[in-house]
Amino acid sequence: MKNQKGFSLVELLVVVIIIAIIAAIAIPNLLASRRAANEASAISSMRTIHSAEATYQATAGGGVNYASLVNLNSAGLIDSALGAATSQKSGYDFTVTLGTQIYCATGAPTTPGTTGINYFGVETEGVIWKHSAAMTCATGDLTPLGAPIQ
């Protein structure tokens, strides 16, 4: 019999099993990091929307009116990702509801549990709220209110 060099089948199987165990540990952490990044981006987008609404109200709104996301984009106050008719950015959908001299903006995960866990909202006062359930705007008020994050 010749002296053959290389790995045996058992050695290769052990390596494959080790790689599978490492992947099983790493993939959930990677997905959790992605969700956290999407939520951080959603919070930043809420701040951007609030700043843009305050700027619009003080300038083009004549000190009274607020604007839709499309109008904020047209005024050059937000980017086209946030200012589209159906606004989606980093796994979140954004909407603005306008009332008489008030506004309310919400951010909801595009795929709840996958792209994000929490829902976010901001009102005229500028406090950003976080809740584990979907938030809605009725006459400029967020419901359910949730917990303030800033």
> What pLDDT score does 150 carry?
63
**pTM score, whole prediction:** 0.83
Residue 2 lies in a domain: no
Could you give the number of structural domains in the chain?
A: 1
Q: Please state, in angstroms and rounded to a whole number, the distance separating the CA atoms of residues 138 and 78.
A: 24
* 46: in domain: yes
CATH classification at residue 71: 3.30.540
37 inside domain: yes
State how far the Cα of 98 lies from the Cα of 30, in Å rounded to an integer.
37
Residue 77 lies in a domain: yes
Q: What is the pLDDT of residue 50?
A: 96
Structural domain contains residue 114? yes
**Long-range CB contacts (within 8 A, 24+) of 69-72:** 69/94, 69/95, 69/96
pLDDT tens string, the chain, 150 residues long: the values are 567 788 889 999 999 999 999 999 988 888 999 999 999 999 999 999 999 999 999 998 888 899 999 999 999 999 999 999 889 999 999 999 998 889 999 999 999 999 999 999 999 999 999 999 999 988 778 888 889 986
Does 1 reside within a domain? no
In whole angstroms, what is the distance from residue 140 CA to residue 150 CA?
Answer: 19
Range of the domain at 134: 9-148
pLDDT number for residue 63: 82
Closest to 115 measured CA to CA, from 42, 54, 58: 42
Is 3 a member of any domain?
Answer: no
